[in-house]
């Protein structure tokens, strides 16, 4: 009976160690962060030229206001 208990203990401890998903969770979070970064970079690249024009227009208007006074 004792040998059976030790065998059960060895098998159950093996499955407890394989069910540890802490590392997998960290990998999943890393993949999500990487995906978010790629989306941000793609958005900035797509809108970068348009945003640059918008900011330049704002700067020009502000300079016109400052020089008019």
pLDDT in tens, 26-66: 888 989 999 999 999 998 888 888 888 999 999 999 999 98
Is the pLDDT higher at 36 or at 17?
36
Residue 66 vs residue 68, higher pLDDT: 66
Give domain status of residue 1, yes or no: no
* Amino acid 37: pLDDT: 95
Q: What's the structural domain count of the chain?
A: 1
Predicted TM-score (pTM) of this structure: 0.45
Answer left, alpha or beta for residue 20, where phi above 0 means left and psi between -120 and 50 means alpha: beta
Quick: pLDDT tens for 23-34.
678 888 989 999
User: Which domain range does residue 33 map to?
Assistant: 23-69
The answer to the question of residue 9 being in a domain is no
Residue 20 pLDDT > 70, yes or no? no
User: Do the domain assignments include residue 42?
Assistant: yes
d(CA 43, CA 20): 37
């Amino acid at each position: 009976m004792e040998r059976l208990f030790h065998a059960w203990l060895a098998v159950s401890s093996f499955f407890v160690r394989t069910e540890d998903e802490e590392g997998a969770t960290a990998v999943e979070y890393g993949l999500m962060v990487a995906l978010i970064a790629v989306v941000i970079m793609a958005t900035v690249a797509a809108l970068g030229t348009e945003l640059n024009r918008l900011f330049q227009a704002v700067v020009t208007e502000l300079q016109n206001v400052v020089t008019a006074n």
